[in-house]
Structure 1
Amino acid sequence: MKNSIVLGVLIITALFPIRAQEYTPEVLTGKVQKTMQDEFSGLQPEVVEAFHKMAAAAAEEGIKLKIVSGFRSYEKQSEIWNNKYKEYRKDGLMPPEAVRKIIEYSTIPGTSRHHWGTDLDIIDEEPGIKEKVLDPQKFMEGGPFHKMKLWMDDHAADYGFLLVYTDNSDRKGFHYEPWHYSYAPISKNMLKAYRELNLVKTLRTSRLLGGQILTASFMEQYTKEQILDINPDLID
């Protein structure tokens, strides 16, 4: 009898994924403590398993998939943000322009999909490129990662991975990122939960450089463009 109950719970869990309200604000904003040992640290187990299966299939075609950025904590994203802000201010940009420049590719800490353990920046390790790997030009025809891009276009979705920031001229928000994939079976539910957060309240206590720019109206537009203007297949 006990085994039957356990089996029933497992079946229900498989059929009905985690509800949006079960993700805490701390998990959704990366304010969790994780020990980072390798590129898989902080990723959800199902994501790691799916990536390994995808990487094994790609390897048969001479493509060596490598994660260059997976889970990213709130603290790490804050470090990235503050360093870029200092750089742009040193270059002469005023605070509003510096913030706008940052969010061409980088997120406000607490709003990164990398906080969720579902999103990966992926390249092909086979060509041996070490510097400036997250460059859209490297994924285009003639670039070292073009073969990988073509393979991912055809096969990534078979393993649950979808490109987040697509090459769509009508899309606003973050620029095209041919390296950023999200594990849709989990991230779609996490995005649902994330949309329920009050970002202004959640980020109010953050000590970010340029934080005075992040007003309620700014965050409303940021949510609409940077957070939600993504691959529509990642939104329920």
Structure 2
Amino acid sequence: MKRRSFIQKSSGAALGLSLLPNILMQEAEYSIAELMGKAPIELYGKDINLRKEAHDAFLDMKKAAYSDGIDLKIVSSFRDFSRQEGIFERKYITYTDEGMEPMAAIEKIIEYSTIPGTSRHHWGTDADIIDGYRNVEGDVLDPEKYGNGGPYEDFKLWMDENSETYGYHLVYTDDPKRRGFKYEPWHYSYAPLSIPMLEAYRGFNVIALLEKEEFFGAEHFTRAFLRSYIQNNILDINRSLL
């Protein structure tokens, strides 16, 4: 072998080996345990609880909103698997105790709540946001309160105009063609992180993993139901987040 050829091939092999750890690190950046809310992640900010980059962007957005008379307040952000499991099971037990059939109860739950292990709130990138200046009675996460004449109308208009400047996108829009979860005018996602996380999530066999779960109601999941749920509820979101 000629010396130049040997050097080129040796250098190429060395380069490949030097890049391998970086490639593996990139591929393993988000583990399935992390994406399903089963592994601890580093969160930042009192009453914010988001990943560092999402936290910093939220504070920048909050500061800008202040100048326009709006106090961006997070009412829910990170939720681990156990907490989502508790939400799902509580609703499942309530609905079935009221006489609903198991699958009917599950379909009712997934109008607004996710199956444990599939929530975007597991990622530390998503938050339910309201205007803290408004004194609102009852459920603050009511879509009607964000529409014309509602107490959060100004908040929604401000977010429509400004949130994407800070990387935050509405997840479940009011597009009539969108399927899955109902319209949530309070749920925003920090796109620079959540887009690659969703891409990583899609690379795992989530259906097989969910079939192994044992929380109340999971025994009624069929493969067809889970396929439909992932396609409609997990993936039929604001196109800017895909």
Q: TM-score range by the shorter chain?
A: 0.7 to 0.9
How many Å apart are 1:231 and its aligned residue?
Answer: 0.4
Q: Provide the rounded CA distance (Å) in 1 between the counterparts of 2:67 and 2:129.
A: 17
Q: CA deviation at 1:204?
A: 3.0
Q: Secondary structure at 2:133's aligned position in 1? A: coil
Q: Which amino acid aligns with 2:100?
A: L
Letter in 1 for 2:48: F
Deviates more, 1:176-185 or 1:87-96: 87-96
How far does residue 40 in structure 1 lie from its aligned partner after superposition? 2.1
Cα–Cα, structure 1 residues 20 and 229, in superposed 2: closer, same or farther, change >3 Å?
A: farther
The equivalent residue for 1:205 is: 212
1:169 and 2:176 matched: yes
Structure 2: how far apart are the matches of 1:204 and 1:80? 19
How do residues 1-236 of structure 1 correspond to structure 2 at under 5 angstroms? 19=26, 21-33=28-40, 38-41=46-49, 43-129=50-136, 131-235=138-242
1:57 to 1:20, Cα distance in 2 relative to 1, 3 A: farther
Distance 1:129 1:176 in 2: 20
1:35 deviates by 8.9
Q: Quick one: which amino acid aligns to residue 229 of structure 2?
A: Y
* Equivalent AA in structure 1 for residue 239 of structure 2: P
Distance (whole Å) between structure 2 residues aligned to residue 74 and residue 39 of structure 1:
19
User: Percent of aligned positions with the same letter in both sequences?
Assistant: 47
Q: Which structure has the higher relative contact order (CA within 8 Å, separation 6+)?
A: 1
Which one-letter code corresponds to 1:102 in the other structure? I
Distance, in Å, in 2 between the alignment partners of 1:25 and 1:33 is 12
Report if the CA contact (8 A) 2:179-2:236 is conserved: yes
Q: CA deviation at 1:34?
A: 6.0
Superposed CA deviations along residues 141-183 of structure 1, whole A, max 9, x for unmatched, are: 1111110000000000000000000001100000000000000
Whether the 8 Å contact between 1:20 and 1:190 is mirrored in structure 2 is: no
**TM-score, with length taken from structure 2:** 0.86
Q: Which residue of 1 aligns with 2:9?
A: none
1: CA distance, partners of 2:56 / 2:40: 22
Structure 2 residues not aligned, in runs of 5+: 1-24
CA deviation string 1:33-77 (max 9, x = no partner): 469894223x10000100000000001111001000100000000
Aligned-residue offset at 1:21: 4.3
TM superposition shift of 1:94:
0.4
Contact 2:34–2:40, Cα closer than 8 Å, also in 1: no
Count of aligned residue pairs for this structure pair: 217
Given that 1:165 and 1:177 are in contact with CA atoms closer than 8 Å, whether structure 2 keeps it comes out as yes
Deviations 1:92-129 (A, max 9, x none): 11001000000000000000000000001000010122
1:224, CA displacement in angstroms? 0.5
| Code of the aligned partner of 2:183 | Y
Q: Mark the runs of 5 or more structure 1 residues left unpaired by the alignment.
A: 1-17
